[in-house]
Amino acid sequence: MALLYSTVSVLGSVAPEFYLPGVDGKVYSLETFQESKGLLIVFMCNHCPYVIAVQDRINQLAKDYAPRGIAVIGISANDPNDREADSFENMKLHSAKYGFVFPYVFDETQAVAKAYDAVCTPDPYLYEKVGGPGGRVEFKLRYRGRIDDSWKEERLVKEKSLARAMDALLEGKPIVGEQIPSMGCSIKWKRFNGK
């Protein structure tokens, strides 16, 4: 298990498009969320202890903020040949077991994770919906960083960084303060030619 920290993203950058199958049998894209004020994308998986420690918190964010206009989607890009626990079938079981209220989708080709420059699980990205060229809806990055200041034990959380950013987005205020990287297991990339 390699511990990595999320990389720095350019705030204001536009979310790359995706079309990914969900555990509920639907296909999700950015267009799915065009009625939302914001979109929280979390790269995650089933087996990583860092995700397991915060998945209830992610689920609670979805419960708290979906009614206020911020949608949440979880994307797993891990190679199931590396971790069978992260197979699409196991994603379905995992989502049901833990009662995920947000779409949980599979990036089988890993192209989406690469487009977003995701590196670890969990790796959260918070986007604000804005008008784009030709009246198109775009999502622009406002926050990429940790969920809070205690990945392991929720009872020790003193600073809810992501929730604070979500509140600011909804209030139309700038997201102030340092965006501290998230930390977690490395994404399990596919190996080609034994590499």
Q: What is the pTM of this model?
A: 0.95
184 three-state secondary structure: strand
Q: Rounded to 10 degrees, what is the CA torsion of 138, 5, 76, 69?
A: -40
CATH architecture assigned to 3-186: 3-Layer(aba) Sandwich (3.40)
pLDDT digits (tens, 9 = 90+) for 139-192: 999 999 999 999 888 889 999 999 999 999 999 999 988 899 999 999 999 986
pLDDT for the residue 167: 98
> What is the residue extent of each domain of the chain?
3-186
Average pLDDT, the chain: 94
pLDDT in tens, 94-128: 999 999 999 999 999 999 999 999 999 999 999 99
Q: pLDDT tens, 40-84?
A: 999 999 999 999 999 999 999 999 999 999 999 999 999 999 999
**Per-residue pLDDT at 1 exceeds 80:** no
Cα separation, 153 vs 105, in Å, equals 26
Alpha-carbon distances, residue 30 vs 8, 14, 48, 70, 193 (angstroms): 22, 11, 26, 13, 33
